[in-house]
Amino acid sequence: MISIIIPAFNVERYIKRCVESVLNQTLKDIEIIIIDDGSTDKTSEICKELEKKNKNIKYKLIKNSGCSAARNIGLSLSTGEYVAFLDSDDWIESKMYEELYRKAKNENSDIVICGLKKINENGEKIAEVEVPTGLSKDDYLDCKAEWFSSPCNKIYSKEMLIKNSLDFLLNIYTGEDMFFNFKAFFFAKKISAVDTPYYNYYMNQYSVSNNYKNRTDIYIVLEKLIDFYKMNGCYEKNFKKIQECFLYHGIIYPFDVLQKIKENKVDGWERIYKDIKNNIKNFKKLESIEIKGYYLYRVFRLKMIVLKKYKKKLLKQ
């Protein structure tokens, strides 16, 4: 059996599509666990109705505590041999869990990954993310790959998660998924992949992952990642992977967000910029020529955007 855990918060427009995509799976030996994170719209009403009509749905309403808390509660309620996580505004193809489960059983895998499609608000496919097959465990631990960070295009051995006390960081809203996968991939004995893009990722501009808040949480995650590897006696062995994570998620992505903030004229970007710069200073131990060079380049680009704005004002005068 696979337990599918769906955290839900104010998703009345999407939750039925999400749940029905699970109900329509060719694999029937599943349980669906919906954790309603204190919704204030019609999400609760829709979920209760779905539970009434389907005996394999468990619905639980909790006080608003965030996605990580909801996933952790769902994990504690799950009874399946494998567990999966599904975001409530996304949906999956009908063969996804049958194919991932078959792969897991055939290869005795603790984690199985599949590809994904990115869908915009008009229902158009804007990108397809493939996942390579047949890689070694170490090669699958690739934090820059688009298929790595999310837990939603994967299934996990419940025994492996429980044995190693794996759960999601609470009160962290950026990078908590990635940290969960760093830990899970570390403890997994075997990782496999299916190259078909079974997961449909809805690019909802209002979703938690697209908000500008809490972007500096990534630096808390980086510190916890360093502590995790040190605690398990393999910090030096994984030093390059930590550096890679710092470059992609501690520099490249935050500066991409800053640029997006500027383009969308979001107030307070200067404060976020200052917070990012101050946090980056705390990771001098990870600095390399590549990291330093890229950081200086992105700072220069950001300053040029600001200078262009003042140049336009002066020309108008």
Range with the lowest mean pLDDT among 160-174, 270-284, 298-312? Answer: 298-312
Q: Give 26-30 contacts, CB < 8 A, sequence gap 24+.
A: 26/94, 26/95, 26/98, 27/2, 27/97, 27/98, 27/101, 29/1, 29/2, 30/1, 30/2, 30/3, 30/4, 30/56, 30/80, 30/97
Residue 255 confidence (pLDDT) above 50: yes
CA distance between the termini of the chain: 70
- Cα gap 71→84, rounded to integer Å: 10
Per-residue CA distances from 210 to 145, 203, 257 (Å): 18, 9, 9
Residue 309 confidence (pLDDT) above 70: no
The upper half-sphere exposure of residue 56, i.e. CA atoms within 13 Å in the direction of its Cβ, equals 19
For residues 66-94, give the mean pLDDT.
97
Nearest alpha carbon to residue 109 among 51, 172, 154:
154
pLDDT category at 306 given cuts 50, 70, 90 is low
Tokens, residue 127: 């990108």
Q: Pick the more confident residue, 315 or 193.
A: 193
What are the E-state strand segments in the chain? 2-8, 30-36, 57-61, 82-85, 91-92, 111-119, 125-129, 154-157, 191-202
The upper half-sphere exposure of residue 280, i.e. CA atoms within 13 Å in the direction of its Cβ, equals 27
Helices (H), 54-149: 67-77, 96-107, 137-140
What pLDDT shows up at residue 125?
A: 92
Q: Which helix (H) or strand (E) holds 271?
A: helix 269-281
Residue 312 confidence (pLDDT) above 80: no
Tokens, residue 224: 């916890």
What pLDDT shows up at residue 205?
A: 61
pTM of the model: 0.91
For residues 149-171, give the mean pLDDT.
97
pLDDT category at 257 given cuts 50, 70, 90 is confident
What pLDDT shows up at residue 97?
A: 98
- Cα gap 25→99, rounded to integer Å: 10
What pLDDT shows up at residue 311?
A: 45
What pLDDT shows up at residue 121?
A: 85
For residues 242-247, give the mean pLDDT.
95
For residues 312-317, give the mean pLDDT.
48
For residues 201-217, give the mean pLDDT.
66
Reported as a single tens digit per residue, the pLDDT across 261-274 is 777 777 777 888 88
Residue 189 confidence (pLDDT) above 60: yes
What pLDDT shows up at residue 122?
A: 84
- Cα gap 124→26, rounded to integer Å: 25
For residues 229-251, give the mean pLDDT.
95
Reported as a single tens digit per residue, the pLDDT across 30-48 is 999 999 999 999 999 999 9
What pLDDT shows up at residue 314?
A: 44
Sign of the alpha-carbon torsion through 298, 302, 308, 314 = negative
When the pLDDT of each residue in the chain is averaged and rounded to a whole number, the result is 91
Rg (CA), the chain: 21
For residues 266-293, give the mean pLDDT.
86
Tokens, residue 225: 């990642």
Residue 285 confidence (pLDDT) above 70: yes
What pLDDT shows up at residue 274?
A: 87
- Cα gap 66→74, rounded to integer Å: 13
Residue 307 confidence (pLDDT) above 70: no
Domains recognised in the chain with CATH numbers: 2-209 (3.90.550.10), 212-316 (no CATH)
Range with the lowest mean pLDDT among 55-69, 184-198, 285-299? Answer: 285-299
For residues 97-109, give the mean pLDDT.
98
